[in-house]
Structure 1
Amino acid sequence: MFPKIAQLGRTVLDQMQAAQVDALNRGLAEAEAEAIGLQTFERALNEASVEAIRSFEKDSIAYAEQTRHETRSFENRLYDRWRVPLDRYLALVGLGVDFLQRIDNANGQDAAERQDHIFYALVGICARACRVSHAVHHLLCGGFPLDALSRARTIHELAVAALLISDSANDADNRDLAERFRLHGHISAYGDALVYQENATFLGYEPFSEEEVERMREKREELLTRFGRSYKHDYGWASKLLAKDRPTFRDLEERAELSRLRGYYRWSSQEVHSGPRSLHFNSIDFRGREVRLVNRTNHHLADPAQIALIALMQCLSALLTYSAIDPQELLYMTTMSHYVDETCNSFAVVQQQIDLEEEELLRSREGRN
């Protein structure tokens, strides 16, 4: 892709080796020849660096144009293959957005007057779930299913919170769960501010004033006094609900009755984090050989799409369960439920077809050999 830079690197090594050989031929000791070689290497590397930078600046334009062309060609081929489920996925997200806007328009003003934390927590969760669902679709169309998987994980996390908050409406002891959830951002805001203060000057940003940091600290302390010291933990907003000082996300999943999806959550977490297990998932078996993914693939779009759609449906269903129900809203969800199942199956069918074609290709090759 950048042959000039590779060529310059070989030239640097050639000059170093030539200088060493010349020094040895002139009768110099081996240590002196190595020193001369090193000096030559440093000088040649500095000269080559200047030329390499110029070369990259010139070649990068052609590389970018070629890559854009290859990307468009790849995306067109991928879309031809996955057109039906990808289009249906996008339409389902659009249906979800339309449903969300109807609910918000119909109930938002009344919810504001009642200071209805449950409604606004659920609307906020569903809005973010819709946005992330669009991001998943974009990544799938681009050929990045593992990255889509990591974003699908986010929608699953949102679904867990949505289901717990919706259920809390009928729980007299935990009706304040949504308020705890919404206010919990102040807890992390103070911790984030302290980290920001440590590095702001070095990074060229303006630090918060002492007054601003103090206001954040006071807000945090006010909430801890109100909700208890366990509120300071990552999922402290659910401590009272779960009767646990330091709940984990797994605890939340179990309470929301979504622990059956735990395996998918752990799998997607590998793509979010940088552990050694993630390297395994970044390699695929392609026609009998291991390939490390450094770019796009048209395989394995089904799982992230299915996880994202199901989680989005769960978020919107939680809002529907809590909000006032009319026939139009029920029809939105009935339609969405039907086509989520159909679309998930459609993704699976395309992946199965790809797998069958690959198996046939391998058998054909083996037969020729």
Structure 2
Amino acid sequence: MDKLLLQAFDRQQDVVKRKWLTATLTRQLAEQNVEKPKMVEAMVDLLMAGGNTDTFAWRDGDDEAGEGVEPGDEPVRTLKLGISPADIAEFDRMQKDAIRALPGIIGDATKATAKSVLRRLLKDWPEAAEQRQLECDAFLFAHATWWEDALEQLRMLQVMAVEEAQGEARRIQKSRAKTNLAKRDVQFRLHVRICQVGDEILTLLENGFADGAMARWRTLHELVVVALLIYDHDDDLAQRYLDHEVVEAWNAAVMYQEVRVPYGDKPYSAKDMAAFTADRQAMLDKYGKSFGGEYGWAAHHLGVKAPSLKTLETAAGRVALRSHYKMASYNVHAGPKGIAFRHGAGDNPAANLAGRSMYGLEEPGCNTAFALAQAAILFVEARKGIAHQVRGWTIVMLRDSVCRAFVKAGKAVRAA
């Protein structure tokens, strides 16, 4: 950037100097009844090039020689040229004007340069993309060599979770039940989200993004915690969970007005904000002041005025995963731990990863297996019969097999 600034400044200085010299010489020659633009241009070129400025001989070949006059015999005329204090003052003024215009000139120059660079990048990209794809394919081949068994087993477990969602969807469609409708609705929709997040985690693991997978497991953990709470309580808790969306909508609207509107986004109308506020207040009147908190939907059933995620984890029996959750949070937020520790760094904590890695899939892989299994078993436990018991044990055994496969692959990668 400094070089670009210097180049722009030098070019602008040359432009100013040429304009000033041209104007000064043209004026002085005109005062001596000489109007020869070509001569002025030649003199300016000489001065700009740093040539001899003591004398300057000019033969205007465009002039017609008089009758009987041979070329070269034209009359010689001496002209007086010089730089006065007024000329220097004018040059200073022009320089100051040029400096004031420099930021705009640099801006135009950088945009023009950026356009040129972009055109070149777009032209060269197909070849670069092909090379990048070859490198990616080579990585994925090596990656699969170590992790394929663990990843395939985890994929099986994720598909089993999806099958539970499909089965529940069919049962809901056929059901004529009149009770626990909110509970069943929330359980089903939470499970569908769990399946999708599990698929996202698998995609990250299959492509060598252990830290990204761990970050997504953080969401999976929260979903399973809520699903367990909903499963363990009655329809009232599920309805509170659904109704709490009104509180979150009010919070989002207030933040939007405070943050987005000052930057030009269209604000909610007074009528809209009044509706948000009225809906929220109606829920606070119905459930109590504690309902307005982040996890206020769980306050009554857990007997805590302001429950936190840790409160929910404890109630759901998953507080043991708190340290894993905290570790996953480092990959979500911008704290220093997020750059000091990377799962994909393997045994080299000083490694600065900017892409895929062969290391670190064990923890997100095992954590995801436990979360998916837990979610799937909630539906299995709700069904009676030997077949469902068998399926439940199959899920548990597959979960354990997945974890063993990930641990085994991790050791092999580190030993290689």
TMscore range, shorter length:
0.7 to 0.9
Residue type matched to 1:350 in 2? A
Q: CA RMSD in A?
A: 3.5
Greater shift in the superposed pair: 269-278 or 286-295: 286-295
* Structure 1 residue ranges without an equivalent (≥5): 1-8, 27-31, 170-174, 358-369
Q: CA deviation at 1:54?
A: 2.3
Distance 1:190-1:14 versus aligned 2 partners, 3 A rule: closer
Query: Is the alpha carbon distance of 1:52 and 1:253 closer, same or farther for their aligned partners in structure 2, counting shifts above 3 Å?
Result: same
- Where 1:186 maps in the other structure, the secondary structure is helix
Describe the SS at the equivalent of 2:350: strand
> Which segment drifts farther, 233-242 or 132-141?
233-242
Distance (whole Å) between structure 2 residues aligned to residue 111 and residue 213 of structure 1: 38
Distance 1:287 1:93 in 2: 29
Residue of structure 2 equivalent to 1:235: 295
For structure 2, the 5+ residue unaligned runs are 18-49, 51-94
> Partners in 2 of 1:127 and 1:326 — Cα distance?
24
Q: Distance in 2 between matches of 1:272 and 1:142?
A: 19
Distance 1:319 1:284 in 2: 34
CA spacing shift, 1:206–1:48, aligned 2, 3 Å: closer
Equivalent residue, structure 2, for 1:254: 314
Which residue is equivalent to 1:355? 414
Higher helix share: 1
| Residue 209 (structure 1) shift | 4.8
TM-score, normalisation: structure 2: 0.71
Q: Distance in 2 between matches of 1:55 and 1:306?
A: 45
Deviation at 1:82, TM superposition (A): 1.0
Asked whether the 8 Å contact 1:143–1:296 carries over to 2, the reply is yes
More divergent stretch after superposition (92-101 vs 205-214)? 205-214
Q: Which has the larger radius of gyration?
A: 2
Instruction: Give the aligned residue type for 2:305.
Output: D
AA aligned opposite 2:407: A
Closer, same or farther in 2 for the Cα pair 1:98/1:203, shift >3 Å? farther
How far apart in 1 are the matches of 2:261 and 2:302? 41
Aligned residue pair count: 337
CA distance in 2, matches of 1:343, 1:123: 25
Mapped to 1, the partners of 2:224 and 2:134 lie a distance apart of: 38
Q: Secondary structure at 2:405's aligned position in 1?
A: helix
What does 1:315-326 align with in structure 2 at a 5 Å threshold? 315-321=375-381, 323-326=382-385
Alignment of 1:186 onto 2:246: yes
Deviating more after overlay: 41-50 vs 289-298: 41-50
State the partner residue of 1:296: 356
> What residue is the counterpart of 1:168 in the other structure?
233
Distance in 2 separating the partners of 1:210 and 1:98: 46
1:345 pairs with one of 394, 401, 404: 404
Aligned pair 1:148/2:213, yes or no? Answer: yes
> What is aligned with 1:114?
179
How far does residue 99 in structure 1 lie from its aligned partner after superposition?
1.9
In the alignment, which residue of structure 2 is the partner of 1:267? 327
Identity %: 26
Distance change in 2, residues 1:149/1:212 (3 Å)? same
The aligned runs of 1:27-38 (5 Å cut-off) are: none
Matched, 1:331 2:390: yes
Q: 1:72 is matched with which residue?
A: 137
